[in-house]
Structures are given as C-alpha cells and as structure tokens.
C-alpha cells in the first residue's frame, strides 16, 4: 500500500513538473482579430525545449470564458496541422477558470531545439454588448475580455499582444499602460518576461459596426431519391445577437437614413451549388417572395430577405429548400455500395450556428449505412421517416454539432448499399394496388348474391346462357366466314396452269381448317 | 474522400411528364376496356385469360403512370418526392 502511494506521488510529481519545466516560450506574438462577428486569436510562438529529453507534447491554455466558446482550435507547425485534444484537468499550478489543450507534434522536438508554432482559435459569442440596450439609430459598442499575457504553463521570455478592431472608435482599453492605440489597432508591444500562468485581464470597449448574425438552430434535412433528385431543406432560427433594441422602431427612419439601420440586418446571402433548382423560401405563414436568385456556372447565389429587418435581439425563422441532381453528389463505390457527398453546415455567409442538426434520409431499404465525418465531436443517432410510398420507413442518420462557424462547412460522406430491386418496390406497390382492385371487380362479377332464386332469376340465367351461346356461335361463324372467303378467293385466283396445280393443296388446307369449326358449332348448339 | 462513377437516374427526369401522361392514358383506356368486357359479357362467356391480360396491363400502366406523375409533380407542389 505504501509502495503504491509512493508510485502515485512520483507519477503526480512527474506530471506536474513535466508541464512547467520542459518548454520555454522565447517569443510569443499574439494577434487577436475582432474584425468579424467572432474572434480569431492567432498566437505565433517560438518555444525552446529546455527539458531533459526530446518532447512532443505542448500545452496551450485559455481562460474558461473563451475556452467554452471555442469553435475551431488549430496548432500549426509550418502550416501543417498537429493533433490537439482537450485536457481534462489543467496542469498543476494553474489558476482557477483555465482550460487547457494538449497538442501532440508529428515530429519530436529535440532537446535544446526550438520550434515555431501557430495556435489559431476561432471563438464565437464573446462580445458583450455595452450598453446592453440601444435605441434605433445608436451605435453598437461591445466589450471583449481576454488575458493580456499568453496564458501558458511555460515561462515566457518576450511577448506582445495586438488587438485588431473593426473600427477606430474605441471607448476604452485596459490596462492603459503598455498599450497604444493607432487607428483600429490596440497594441501592447513589449510586455517583458513573465513567469508561467501570468494573469492580467485585457478589456477593450469599442464600436463594432457589423451585425451579429447568429443562427440559434439549424435543421438541415437531405433526402436522397434514386429516381433522380436530392432534396435539401434547411430550417433556420436566426437572431441578431448584438446590442438589444429598445424603444420604438420607426420604419420611416429605418428606410430613409443610414443611421436608422446600425447594427441590424435585413438579409442573408447563401452560395448554393450551381445545379440547384426548384428553390423555395417560406415560413409557417407561407411563401416569402422577397428573395433574389442569381444562377452562374459556378454557383447559385441567393439573397434571402427576411420578413422584417432584425434589430438587436430580434429573431425570426424560415425554411429554405432546393433540389440538386444526383450527378455530382452520389457516386458508386466498390462492392455495390454508394457514397453520398454533401456539405455539413449552412451555405450562408457570416453566420455562426449554435446548434446544427444534419439529417440524411436514405431510401427505404438502404443497408450498411456508415458515415465518414470531418470532425470528431459530431454525435450520430438514428431516426425513421415515413413519406411517399413507404411501408417500413426510411432510415435517417442524424448528425449533431454545436458552435459551427463557416470555415467548418466541410463535406462529409455517407456510404450505404441499395439494390435496383429495392428501388422497384415502389412501382410494384402501386401496380399491386391497382391489380387488386381489378381482381376484386372480376371476382365480384363472378359471384351471385341473389337472395331468392325465383322465376325472374331463372329467366335471367337462361337469358345469360342464351347470350353466351349466341356470342360463341357468332365467333365461330365469323371464323368460318373468314375461311370460306379465302376459299372463294382461291377459286377466283386460278388464272394459269401452275396456280391451278397448287390450288387443290390450298383448298384441302382450308377445308381442314373448316372441319373443327363445324364440329365446335355443332357442340355449342347442343 | 474518393468517389467513383456518378450515379444516373434510371429514367431521365426530362421524360417524366411525357411518361406520366402516356402511361396514364394507356392505363385509363385499358381500364375502360376491362370494364366494358366485364359489362358486355355474361359469366358463361367470359374468358379469364383475356380478363387477366387486360387487368394486368391496365394495372401496370396505371401504377407506373401514377409513379411518374408523383415524381413529376410532388417536388414542385410539396417540396419532396418518393
């Protein structure tokens, strides 16, 4: 027991010391780009391996308020992506409210060598509007909070931080000393040497002139029909996540002055595939006619104007649907399988999606369904959809992901097998329904439902029998007439010696035909 | 992600309107002939082979005609299809 304790303590010490004592960041240059409606922090680090051996793990950390909203985290060495995984627990000595990730390098860093790496984090929803509520025509000011220094378990020798803003209208930035504002840039040029876990709050309060287009939820349903089309239907709930609008809304001021619009937006633009057709844009009320579509050879650009302009805090929902042909999206794979290649997320510009659900509806009878996804944190589940001519329901693969930015709109693949006979199930179902109807009619006509078989019924039966007899007799007489007609023509056609020789044979053949007919007439008459 | 040969629909989509109208016309005519045959003959003179042939061809034509009608019109009207 005590040996176990010793081993555990030793291991803990190793883990704790490993984090702090292996790298030293010689130079850290942080650029925090706030020009868009989401923040992009690019840290260019030059780290030296001062540990005792070759290392391949590097820890990057962020304050909890930023880490919980990270959409994309990339660690690049010479533009090559390295593996990044979140760490369950921050390394020893970390202050409270810090989340860390561990990057595993593809090639180890030798003892004493330096490595240049770029850490890129795209973070959504970290702008805090201040003032929280504005009237129509007022400008939108937001605050951004971060750590001034590189939040790192390693010692940092030299660092600088630069904040790039969308406008040059900055109300305040803190801390004041060390920082300088020039145009739309706030920079802290030489921050000096810092020990590990240097914490200092950075706050910038500035005017953000772009509207915050946030999609609260997006359900993207992709239905594959092997008869020729792939149907895509996207249901959006979109909200303006900027400073909230308070007070009155004047349509006149909105239309007639640029100040009446400020942080609001009336439309969103999408880049759909070039082969998209049969587009529709509607909501629960009905069709929305305010949209513009431009078809070019490379894409279909659609500008979707919302039912009303979204002022701060307002939200609306709508459905956008279109069809694309199979060519370009559905392919044959070996062993009779098929592969569907579609984009994961929305094709709208400048929006980020809080909750994305992509549903892939495959034809009924599709088997061995397997998805190849571009990200590891996409949850998969199954569902069933009943639509046209379905008996057992179509399999639906449901993919969910939260916090999706446009750069994550990558293609994904779904492999499945579906046979030609499986496709024939639909027309066969229809044909059998009609056939059953005709069979029922034929059956009904053969059944006799009279309650009393009285004289009138017997007369009717006799009448039917007579009618039947007459019909069959008529048929035989028609055929006899046809044969006799041919005999007469044969007789008339004897105009020379050779045909006269051939005639008796033909006459015999025709009379042979006549004989069974005579017999049948005789039988019928009986 | 590699892809193989593209998948083509079994019937070109431009032919859907033509196929739907022709098949439905043929199917309705065949159904009419079927009912005529039922009505003009008695149960003693009816031939089941002829009845079966008429019924089967009518149901095939009507079934396929309805399928192509659905494929042609359901998307523009309702937004999705078989």
Give pLDDT, residue A16: 46
For residue B7, tell me if it sits in a domain. no
For residue B67, tell me if it sits in a domain. yes
Is A467 in contact with B6 (Cβ distance < 8 A)?
no
pLDDT at B18 over 70: yes
CB-based contact A132:A244 (threshold 8 Å)? yes
Burial of residue A247 (number of CB atoms within 10 Å: 0-12, 13-18, 19+): exposed
Partner A, chain B 15-74, Cβ-Cβ below 8 Å: 27, 31, 34-35, 38, 41-46, 48, 51, 55-56, 58-60, 62-64, 66-67, 70-71, 74
A362: nearest CA partner in chain B: B82
Contacts with A231 from chain B: Cβ below 8 Å: 75, 79-81
A415: nearest CA partner in chain B: B3
Q: DSSP strand E in A244-364: where?
A: 244-245, 265-273, 277-282, 291-295, 299-310, 315-325, 330-333, 337-343, 352-361
For residue B8, tell me if it sits in a domain. no
By residue range, what is the domain housing residue B50? 14-72
> Of B11, B34, B82, which is closest to A389 when you measure between CB atoms?
B82
Give pLDDT, residue A17: 45
Contacts with B68 from chain A: Cβ below 8 Å: none
- pLDDT block averages, 10 residues each, chain A of length 526: 57 47 87 94 92 87 92 91 86 86 89 90 93 90 92 90 92 87 89 86 92 95 92 95 91 82 89 92 92 93 94 94 92 91 92 96 92 92 90 93 93 93 89 95 85 84 84 82 82 71 74 74 67
Is A223 in contact with B80 (Cβ distance < 8 A)?
yes
Number of domains in chain B: 1
Give pLDDT, residue A143: 94
> Of B6, B10, B11, which is closest to A331 when you measure between CB atoms?
B6
| Shortest distance, CA A219 to any CA of chain B (angstroms) | 16
- The answer for A78, left when phi > 0, alpha when psi is -120 to 50, beta otherwise, is left
CA dist A182 and A392 (Å) reads 66
Contacts with A394 from chain B: Cβ below 8 Å: none
| Shortest distance, CA B18 to any CA of chain A (angstroms) | 16
For residue B51, tell me if it sits in a domain. yes
Contacts with A323 from chain B: Cβ below 8 Å: 75
Give the range among A98-102, B42-46, B69-73 with minimum mean pLDDT: B42-46
Give pLDDT, residue A273: 94
**Residues A151-169 as b or e (16 or more Cβ within 10 Å = b):** bbbbbbeebbbbbbbbeee
> Of B7, B11, B43, which is closest to A445 when you measure between CB atoms?
B43
Contacts with B48 from chain A: Cβ below 8 Å: 442
Is A326 in contact with B6 (Cβ distance < 8 A)?
yes
Give pLDDT, residue A146: 92
B41: nearest CA partner in chain A: A468
Q: What is the DSSP secondary structure assignment for residue A194, as one 8-state letter?
A: B
For residue B80, tell me if it sits in a domain. no
For residue B41, tell me if it sits in a domain. yes
Partner B, chain A 420-439, Cβ-Cβ below 8 Å: 420, 423, 426-428, 430-435, 437-439
For residue B48, tell me if it sits in a domain. yes
CA dist A28 and A160 (Å) reads 6
Closest by CA to B67, choosing from A434, A463, A330, A476, is A434
Task: Answer whether 0.90 is exceeded by the pTM.
Answer: no
Cβ-Cβ pairs closer than 8 A, A with B, add up to 137
For residue B40, tell me if it sits in a domain. yes
Tell me the CA distances in angstroms from B59 to A100, A144, B69, one per residue in order: 68, 70, 15
Strand partners, A301: A271, A294
């Amino acid at each position: 027991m005590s040996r176990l304790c010793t081993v555990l303590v030793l291991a803990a010490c190793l883990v704790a010391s490993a984090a702090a004592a292996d790298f030293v960041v010689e130079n850290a240059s942080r650029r925090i780009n706030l020009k868009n409606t989401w923040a992009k922090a690019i840290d260019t680090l030059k780290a030296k391996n001062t540990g005792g051996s070759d290392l391949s793990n590097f820890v990057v950390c962020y304050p909890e308020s930023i880490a919980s909203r990270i959409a994309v985290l990339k660690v690049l060495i010479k533009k090559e992506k390295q593996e990044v995984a979140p760490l369950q627990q921050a390394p020893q000595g970390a202050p409270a409210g810090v989340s860390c990730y561990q990057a595993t390098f593809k090639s180890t860093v030798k003892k004493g060598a330096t490595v240049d790496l770029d850490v890129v984090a795209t973070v959504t929803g970290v702008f805090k509007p201040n003032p929280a509520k504005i009237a129509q025509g007022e400008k939108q000011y937001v605050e951004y909070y971060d750590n001034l220094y590189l939040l790192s378990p390693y010692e940092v020798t030299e660092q600088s931080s630069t904040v790039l803003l969308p406008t040059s209208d900055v109300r305040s930035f803190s801390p004041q000393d060390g920082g300088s504002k020039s145009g739309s840039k706030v920079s802290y040029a030489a921050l000096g040497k810092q020990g590990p876990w240097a914490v200092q709050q950075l706050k910038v309060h500035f005017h953000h002139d772009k509207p915050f287009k946030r999609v609260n939820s997006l359900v993207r349903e992709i239905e594959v029909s092997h008869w020729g089309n792939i149907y895509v239907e996207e249901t959006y709930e979109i909200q303006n996540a900027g400073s909230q609008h308070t007070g009155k809304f004047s349509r006149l001021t909105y239309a007639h002055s640029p100040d009446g619009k400020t942080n609001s937006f009336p439309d969103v633009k999408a880049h759909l595939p070039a082969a998209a057709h049969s587009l529709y844009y509607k909501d629960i009320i009905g069709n929305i006619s305010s949209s513009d579509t431009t078809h070019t050879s490379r894409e279909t650009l659609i500008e979707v104007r919302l039912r009303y302009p979204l002022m701060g805090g307002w939200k609306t929902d709508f459905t956008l649907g279109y069809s694309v042909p199979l060519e370009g999206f559905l392919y044959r794979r070996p062993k009779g399988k098929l592969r569907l290649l579609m984009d994961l997320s929305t094709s709208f510009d400048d929006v980020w999606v809080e909750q994305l659900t992509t549903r892939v509806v495959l034809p009924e009878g599709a088997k061995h369904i397997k998805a190849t996804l571009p990200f590891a944190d996409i949850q998969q589940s199954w569902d069933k959809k009943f639509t046209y001519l379905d008996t057992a329901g179509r399999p639906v693969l449901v993919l969910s992901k939260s916090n999706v930015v446009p750069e994550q709109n990558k293609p994904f693949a779904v492999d499945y097998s579906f046979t030609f006979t499986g496709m024939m199930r639909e027309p066969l179902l229809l044909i059998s329904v009609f056939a059953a109807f005709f069979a029922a009619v034929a059956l009904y006509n053969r059944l006799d439902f009279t309650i009393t078989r009285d004289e009138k019924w017997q007369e009717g039966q006799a009448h039917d029998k007579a009618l039947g007899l007459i019909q069959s007799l008529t048929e035989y007489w028609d055929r006899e007439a046809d044969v006799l007609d041919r005999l007469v023509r044969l007789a008339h056609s004897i105009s020379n010696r050779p045909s006269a020789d051939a005639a008796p044979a033909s006459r015999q053949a025709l009379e042979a035909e006549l004989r069974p007919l005579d017999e049948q007439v005789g039988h019928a008459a009986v | 992600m590699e892809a193989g040969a593209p998948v083509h629909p079994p019937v070109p989509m431009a032919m859907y309107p033509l196929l739907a109208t022709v098949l439905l016309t043929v199917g309705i005519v065949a159904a009419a002939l079927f009912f005529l045959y039922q009505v003009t003959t008695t149960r003693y003179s009816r031939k089941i082979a002829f009845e079966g042939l008429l019924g089967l061809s009518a149901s095939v034509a009507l079934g396929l005609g309805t399928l192509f009608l659905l494929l042609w019109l359901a998307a523009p009207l309702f937004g999705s299809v078989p």
